[in-house]
Structure 1
Amino acid sequence: MLTKQDWDWLAVCSHYQTAVTVQTLLKEGKSMEATAGLESLIEAMGRTERRAVKSQLIRLMLHIIKWKVQPQKRSSSWTISIRSARREIEDSQEEMPSLNRDFLESIWEKCFQIAVKDAEDEMGLKCHLTSLSWSEVFEDEYTLYEGDL
């Protein structure tokens, strides 16, 4: 019989192997142990999704910071990175509704500070920005062309 600690370790190491073990236990009629495994798997997958959203938010903020600080170096890759990070965050939110605006706001400042440091390293200069607003990060348009296409 696997302990909570065993399940947690297995779920962190391999979502797939955890699911297979749960399936095996269900086939053997060991539903209580399978339930414990499912709980650990759900927790681990939730942590993975939260980390992914945090990573995408940092990437999104990083490119917006560079866009604002170095307008002369704007590139299509920055535009694509901004759009891609927004899309990845939206996709994660669709899969896990708990990754909503409240969650994003709870990690906002920490992600901004990390993004500033990363941007400074990439740009080779200090960032004068002290914050980014919700609209700057999720609503404003960042394009290299003028007008409508």
Structure 2
Amino acid sequence: MNWQELSATSHYKTAIAIHHELQQGHQEEANKGLQALINALSRSEKRVLKSQLIRLMKHIIKWQTQPDYRTRSWIASIHNARVEIKDIQEETPSLSNKIIEQLWNDCLASAIVEAEDEMRQDTKIEALSWQAIFEHSYCLNEKT
């Protein structure tokens, strides 16, 4: 059984195949399948974390670049992305702040491209701080 390929295409089918191997008494093969499934789930959660981090950074870039266009929906998106990231970290403790730091530069580069596309303008932002991303409180009456 090609566990890597199966787990990359369907977590459900992988779980069913593992169950079948266990029913047949093939413990070693089932363990291989479990390891492949665990790795696939970890990669999947990491992709979700990365997606939420890009979303969060993108809205903060837009916030900083276009102060005249700030909306409640941007505030909600920032808040919701932070909550999603926190939930992901609680559900998958291996996706720690250290992992976020490792993803930071790639996510920032993607967020800049996405923000510039949405704003239809270039941004001068080249870096974002941890505080700006995870700690700053954004509100409509703020000046900067």
TM normalised by structure 1 equals: 0.92
> Structure 1 unaligned runs (5+)?
none
| Alpha-carbon distance between aligned partners in 1 of 2:23 and 2:87, rounded to the nearest angstrom | 33
Deviation, 1:29, is 1.1
Q: Distance in 2 between matches of 1:88 and 1:51?
A: 13
**1:145 Cα shift?**
5.6
What's the TM-score once normalised by structure 2's chain length?
0.95
Confirm whether residue 82 of structure 1 aligns to residue 81 of structure 2. Answer: no
The answer as to 2:96 corresponding to 1:127 is no
After the TM superposition, list the runs of 4 or more consecutive aligned residues in structure 1 that deviate by more than 6 angstroms. Answer: none
CA offsets 1:85-127 (integer angstroms, 9 cap, x no match)? 1111111101111111110000101111111111111111110
Structure 2 CA distance for aligned equivalents of residues 124 and 16 of structure 1: 41
Which letter maps to 1:98?
S
Q: Secondary structure at the match of 1:88?
A: helix
Paired position in structure 2 for 1:71: 67
Note the residue ranges of structure 2 that are not aligned, 5 or more in a row.
Answer: none
Let me know the Cα RMSD of the aligned residues.
Answer: 1.1
Equivalent residue, structure 2, for 1:36? 32
Q: Report whether the alignment pairs 1:93 with 2:75.
A: no
Q: Percent identity?
A: 47
The equivalent of 1:56 in structure 2 is 52
Q: Which residue identity does 1:113 align to in structure 2? A: A
Of 96, 101, 107, which aligns to 1:111?
107
Structure 1 residue 26 displacement after superposition: 1.0
